[in-house]
Amino acid sequence: MSGTGLIAAINAATFESEKEAAIESYFRNNPHWIMTPQEFQLVFSQLSFDSTKQQAAGVIARTHPKLTCAHVAAALGACSHDSTKVAIAKLFAPGVIDKHNRATILSNFSFSSSKSEVNAALDAAPATAPPSMGKGMGMGTGMAPPPASTGPPGFSPFGQPPQRSPYPPQQHAPSYPPTSQGPYPPQQQQPGNPADMQQAMQGMGQAMGQAMGMMQGMMQGMGQMMQGMNQGMGQGHQASSGPYGQAPPPGPYGQAPPRGPYGP
């Protein structure tokens, strides 16, 4: 991972504490960081004080980086005082992978005492094998990054992933019973009991007898009603024919006068 993003984050920060926090976050969260010596120098050049630069070097050193002498010299070139340069060179000494190029580091010191101190620190540091990286590049750890793909686009050195069908998986429809058969078991018919059937027939006969009795009562009531109506009509006729049942005799004017000798 390039240091361009780290340099942009440091430029955007206002306070030294924010810049130091950005450096710590970058180097701790990117174990395979890669920077050129020029980018490494820009990181330290963005810090205002030598004390902050020394603290940043301590943060980077705790991630056990693999650095070339050119990287260490670039960091020292961003510092002003020999004491700060000596401290930073001693922090980075265990991670230097090309100690035979130490003259690049020692040329940044003004005093021979400083050169002797840094030279001793480089000799005391264990030999470090250079990681697989480009010429003039620094890396975070001795772990090699994943192998680069040498095949056509889409080729993976770890094998092809299993192919996935572009169609969604088929869903099986729920099974239903045949249309001629309902979802519930058929009801079983219980055989009839002769005694129950006889009782049912007797009940029906009693009901029919009661209905016939009701109809007879209705017919008798209608006959009595008709008889009463006929009697009432007969009494009304007798009253219209006089108290004795005969028409009254004709009155004195009810007959025509006798005929005289001279005619009418």
Give the domain ranges of the chain. Answer: 4-139
Which of the four pLDDT bands, split at 50, 70 and 90, describes residue 263? low
Q: Which has the higher per-residue pLDDT, 119 or 241? A: 119
Q: Most distant CA pair in the chain: distance in Å? A: 209
pLDDT for residue 180? 54
Nearest 10 degrees: Cα torsion 48, 54, 56, 57: 140
Report whether 75 contacts 40 (CB < 8 A): yes
Which of the four pLDDT bands, split at 50, 70 and 90, describes residue 208? confident
Rounded CA gap, 13 and 159, in Å? 43
Which of the four pLDDT bands, split at 50, 70 and 90, describes residue 113? very high
Report whether 83 contacts 76 (CB < 8 A): no
| Section 75-82 average pLDDT | 92
Which of the four pLDDT bands, split at 50, 70 and 90, describes residue 2? low
Coil, helix or strand at residue 175: coil
pLDDT for residue 116? 95
Q: What's the DSSP call for residue 247? A: P
Which of the four pLDDT bands, split at 50, 70 and 90, describes residue 142? very low
pLDDT for residue 221? 74
pLDDT for residue 255? 56
Rounded CA gap, 42 and 120, in Å? 27
Label residue 63 exposed, middle or buried (CB < 10 Å: 0-12, 13-18, 19+). Answer: middle
| Section 125-152 average pLDDT | 52
Coil, helix or strand at residue 196: helix
Tally of CA atoms within 13 A in the half-sphere of 91 that contains its CB: 23
Which of the four pLDDT bands, split at 50, 70 and 90, describes residue 217? confident
Find, among 96, 60, 56, the residue nearest to 78 by Cα.
Answer: 56
Tally of CA atoms within 13 A in the half-sphere of 105 that contains its CB: 31
pLDDT for residue 43? 92
pLDDT for residue 67? 92
pLDDT for residue 111? 92
| Section 138-142 average pLDDT | 51
Percent of the chain with pLDDT over 70: 60
- Cα distances (angstroms) measured from residue 3 to each of 42, 64, 202: 9, 17, 109
Q: Which has the higher per-residue pLDDT, 164 or 9? A: 9
Residue 152 has pLDDT above 90, yes or no: no
Residue 158 has pLDDT above 50, yes or no: no
